[in-house]
Amino acid sequence: MYHLSKCIVQNSLFMAVVLVSLCLLPRRGNAAEYAITMDDPHLYQTPLLTAGERNARILKLLKATGKKAMLFVCGKRIASPNGKRLLHLWSQAGHLLANHSYSHRYFHSRRMSLKRFEQDVMKNHNMLLGYGAFVRFFRFPYLKEGNTLTKRDGMRRWMKSMKYKNGHVTIDASDWYIDQRMRMKLKQSTKTPLKPYRNYYLKHMWGRAQYYDSLAKQLWRRPVKHTILLHHNLLNALFLGDLIQHFASKGWKLTDADKVYNDPLYARVPKRLPSGESLIWSFAREKGLKGLRYPAESGRYEKKPMDALGL
């Protein structure tokens, strides 16, 4: 049984050995580098851990790595004194705060105009201005960057006028869906074994990392510096340390989020419509690589295998 107490013990051990384990890893040619970017800090209650406990655990695990993450903030989820405290804790820990819109609206909706979308992003911008850790990166909700030329190019012009960079993701995944299903089972019984969710999560994240890295190598024949998309949720409060260890065991190097965005890849602009998804996926679609599903990632792709495992 892999319950909360075991998670705590394992994550404590992770914090004690992470630097040593990274030093002892064999050197591999062209080892991939990646940074953690995390979306949607929130305050809702979950089984096992309170909102404050979840946040504290995530920050503690990140501190053990000595690397800076980038937190993409959706304003409506933290619009309270406790939300402000959460952002201050991230800022004090040396991490970066970025814009993820205020209301997390679906940009591709016919009911969502360019003007309304810009106003919503600006509302969040004004909220974040008071934090010293704020950086002008914007990540589109659902990674949807415009399904018409008017929307796509309009937002690109707006971002340029506001000196924003696109908070692109190279490794997209469905950790949010695994978390959702795990929480549903925990609400039924807090004695639900956690190890199967941990194992599925690690396999899923590593699989998606390998997939997007393989697309990059097909496109450019060189390693790229990756941004991995995670969410500020119970799943990562429990297993982020395991994920970092797992990637380290494969030779992948964790680095600072702001340094990763210096890779020339992130200055390139895809031309395809609809615009969005993983940045690597967008260029792969533009290049005409075969076998690309749309949307690139969705909970529905994980439903069948998780059903089969009883998760």
Give the CATH number of the domain where residue 215 resides. 3.20.20.370
In a domain? residue 3? no
Number of domains in the chain: 1
Low-confidence residues of the chain, pLDDT below 70?
1-30
Query: Tell me, what amino acid is at 112?
Result: M
Asked whether residue 57 is assigned to any structural domain, the reply reads: yes
* Average pLDDT taken over every residue of the chain: 93
* Separation between Cα atoms, residue 223 and residue 292, nearest integer Å: 20
Residue 20 lies in a domain: no
300 is in which domain, residue-wise?
Answer: 33-309
The pLDDT score that the predictor gives to residue 14 is 52
Q: How far from each other are the two terminal CA atoms of the chain, in whole angstroms?
A: 14
Predicted pLDDT of residue 24: 39
CA-to-CA separations, 145 to 15, 106, 274, 275, 302, in angstroms, rounded: 37, 9, 7, 5, 24
Residue 184 lies in a domain: yes
Supply the pLDDT for residue 20. Answer: 40
**24 inside domain:** no
Q: Kindly state whether residue 59 falls inside one of the protein's structural domains.
A: yes
Q: What is the pLDDT of residue 5?
A: 59
Does residue 174 belong to any structural domain of this protein?
Answer: yes
- Give me the pLDDT at residue 17, please: 44
pLDDT at residue number 274: 96
The pLDDT assigned to 18 comes to 46
Determine the pLDDT at residue 11: 58
> What is the pLDDT, as a whole number, of residue 286?
96
Instruction: Let me know if residue 251 belongs to a domain.
Output: yes
